[in-house]
């Protein structure tokens, strides 16, 4: 099959993604389930009664995630040939590609439709047994790299696609032509601008959230388990890498290991690379690919600046804007629950999940990986993570004693 030069195809049998290398998130299940629905014979599917899929999914995600590898793993497991952008060709003549993106996309879709009959004819030949296990559907992956912004200025490929899709003679329903489109976008401002038009071209938008502190710790812990000869402070590194993504963390650790082995004196003294990692971060000698999020701050007029640099919508009301917010922010940041309130929170936790929380604290102390249920349970009681593990355990045990005393008192009265 011949594709336009700006696209390239990978046979599903040539993909070699190790599933153990993927850091699974709950949102990844939504991607998989969407594709699995499209792999069904939709004519006989009950979903057609309620919704007619177009066969196109938009994924909004930060750079440096492993979502691309996850999509390739799906193609590998479900025998989906992967069609993706040919970045090497795009870099040679970027203007020709970007200025005529819709033309090249149309050419690709037409070529896929025209070769469908050829595929059907081939199944009647000797290789029928081989082709029978290969899915006829193909996955078209558009990874709208941030690199593209240099050429498109204020526009983006997704705007071009949505506008073109409204007037193109190519059928909007890709799945009818055995094509599943997965579009990856990293630009939140462009997504916001198109929010009222997205679902004319896409069935769904799935937003992959930032890694939580616990998830970052799990990534770091897994790295430690695979590299038993070194160690570092999980908690400290996790707190210093807020908003970092999977590949940001892994490349930081690999860089730190290189620095560690480059220094024979340090190598001989200790196997702890915490100071090496911290120095890389603080010195700026390693910087994450994931950009830091801009904080919302008031300007001189008291208006709030939005994440994309513009003024937020000003709501007309009789309320006077607060001109000096810093003291309030500092007061909130510095506030902590009283001993009484902390005791109440621990008693509530103990009354429902005492044994489970003790096990989780023990796992954290031993740097063991938390199970999915452990992480969900811990998320219900985040105040536990604000303390040293020993103090948290003491608070749990004290709360248990208080509850036991109350139970005994009530039993005596009865």
pLDDT at 61: 95
Pair of tokens at residue 297: 């701050």
> Residue 305 pLDDT more than 50?
no
Per residue in 148-164, pLDDT (tens digit) is 766 666 667 888 888 87
pLDDT at 72: 96
Residues linked to residue 231 through DSSP beta bridges, in sequence order: 272
Side-chain-side CA neighbours of 254 within 13 Å: the count stands at: 6
pLDDT band at 220; cut points 50, 70, 90: very high
Classify 209 as helix, strand or coil: coil
* Mean pLDDT across 170-194: 83
pLDDT at 130: 46
Instruction: State the Cα–Cα distance between residues 110 and 66, nearest whole angstrom.
Output: 31
> Residue 315 pLDDT more than 80?
no
pLDDT at 42: 72
Q: Pairing state of beta strands 56-60 and 179-185?
A: parallel
Q: Pairing state of beta strands 138-144 and 81-85?
A: parallel
pLDDT band at 309; cut points 50, 70, 90: very low
DSSP assigned state of 293:
P
> Residue 132 pLDDT more than 70?
no
pLDDT at 33: 94
Most confident of 77-91, 120-134, 343-357: 77-91
Instruction: State the Cα–Cα distance between residues 71 and 75, nearest whole angstrom.
Output: 6
pLDDT at 146: 72
pLDDT at 157: 86
Q: Residue 4: how many CB atoms within 10 A of its CB?
A: 17
> Residue 319 pLDDT more than 80?
no
pLDDT at 40: 82
Instruction: State the Cα–Cα distance between residues 171 and 211, nearest whole angstrom.
Output: 38
Instruction: State the Cα–Cα distance between residues 76 and 29, nearest whole angstrom.
Output: 16
**Among residues 367, 83, 31, which one has the least CA distance to residue 204?**
31
pLDDT at 134: 46
pLDDT at 268: 65
pLDDT at 325: 46
- At what angle are helices 389-413 and 339-365 packed, to 10 degrees? 120
pLDDT band at 402; cut points 50, 70, 90: confident
Q: Residue 242: how many CB atoms within 10 A of its CB?
A: 13
Per residue in 339-371, pLDDT (tens digit) is 666 777 788 888 888 888 988 888 888 888 888
Which residue shows structure tokens 């190598």? 267
Question: What are the structural domains, with CATH classification, of the chain?
Answer: 7-207 (3.40.50.300), 213-283 (1.10.8), 339-413 (no CATH)
Starting at the edge strand found earlier in the chain, the sheet holding 179-185 runs 7-10, 81-85, 138-144, 179-185, 56-60, 204-207
Cα–chain center distance at 356: 28
> Residue 141 pLDDT more than 80?
yes
> Residue 204 pLDDT more than 90?
yes
> Residue 228 pLDDT more than 50?
yes
pLDDT at 279: 94
Identify whether the C-beta of residue 104 lies closer than 8 Å to the C-beta of residue 168: no
Instruction: State the Cα–Cα distance between residues 71 and 182, nearest whole angstrom.
Output: 9
pLDDT at 52: 84
Is-above-0.75 flag for pTM?
A: no
pLDDT at 73: 96
- At what angle are helices 246-262 and 213-226 packed, to 10 degrees? 40
What is the average pLDDT score of the chain? 80
pLDDT at 124: 56
Per residue in 36-60, pLDDT (tens digit) is 988 887 777 777 778 888 899 999 9
pLDDT band at 98; cut points 50, 70, 90: confident
Instruction: State the Cα–Cα distance between residues 385 and 375, nearest whole angstrom.
Output: 12
What share of the chain has pLDDT > 70, as a percent? 76
* Mean pLDDT across 125-131: 49
Per residue in 245-271, pLDDT (tens digit) is 999 999 999 999 998 888 876 666 678
């Amino acid at each position: 099959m011949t594709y336009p030069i700006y696209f390239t195809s990978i046979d599903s049998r040539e993909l070699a993604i190790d599933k153990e290398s993927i850091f699974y998130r709950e949102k990844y299940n939504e991607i998989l389930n969407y594709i699995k629905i499209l792999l069904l014979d939709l004519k006989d599917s009950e979903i057609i009664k309620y919704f007619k899929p177009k066969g196109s999914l938009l994924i909004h995600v930060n750079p440096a995630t492993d979502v691309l590898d996850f999509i390739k793993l799906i193609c590998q497991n479900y025998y989906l040939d992967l069609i993706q952008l040919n970045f090497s060709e795009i870099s040679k003549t970027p203007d020709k590609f970007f200025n005529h993106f819709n033309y090249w996309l149309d050419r690709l879709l037409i070529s896929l439709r025209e070769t469908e009959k050829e595929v059907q004819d081939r199944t009647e030949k000797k290789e029928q047994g081989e082709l029978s296990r290969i899915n006829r559907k193909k996955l078209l992956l558009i990874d709208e790299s941030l690199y593209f912004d240099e050429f498109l200025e204020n526009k983006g490929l997704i705007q071009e696609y949505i506008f073109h899709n409204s007037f193109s003679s190519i059928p909007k329903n890709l799945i009818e032509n055995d094509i599943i489109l997965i579009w990856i976008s990293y630009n939140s401002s462009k997504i916001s601008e198109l929010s009222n038009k997205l679902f004319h071209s896409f069935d769904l938008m799935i937003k992959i959230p930032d890694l939580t502190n616990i998830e970052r710790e799990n990534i770091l812990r897994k790295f430690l388990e695979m590299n038993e000869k070194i160690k570092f402070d999980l908690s400290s590194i996790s707190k210093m890498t807020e908003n970092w993504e999977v590949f940001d963390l892994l490349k930081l650790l690999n860089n730190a290991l290189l620095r560690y082995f480059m220094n024979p004196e340090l190598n001989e003294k200790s196997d702890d690379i915490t100071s090496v990692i911290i120095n890389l971060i603080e010195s700026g000698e390693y910087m994450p690919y994931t950009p830091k999020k801009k904080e919302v701050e008031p300007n001189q007029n008291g208006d709030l600046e939005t994440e994309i640099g513009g003024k937020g919508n000003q709501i007309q009301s009789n309320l006077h804007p607060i001109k000096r917010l810093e003291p309030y922010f500092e007061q909130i940041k510095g506030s902590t629950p009283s001993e009484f309130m902390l005791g109440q929170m621990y008693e509530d936790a103990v009354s429902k999940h005492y044994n489970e929380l003790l096990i989780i604290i023990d796992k954290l102390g031993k740097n063991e990986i938390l199970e999915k249920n452990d992480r969900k349970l811990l998320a219900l009681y985040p105040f536990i993570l604000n303390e040293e593990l020993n103090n948290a355990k003491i608070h749990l045990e004290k709360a248990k004693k208080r509850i036991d005393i109350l139970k005994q008192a009530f039993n005596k009265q009865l």
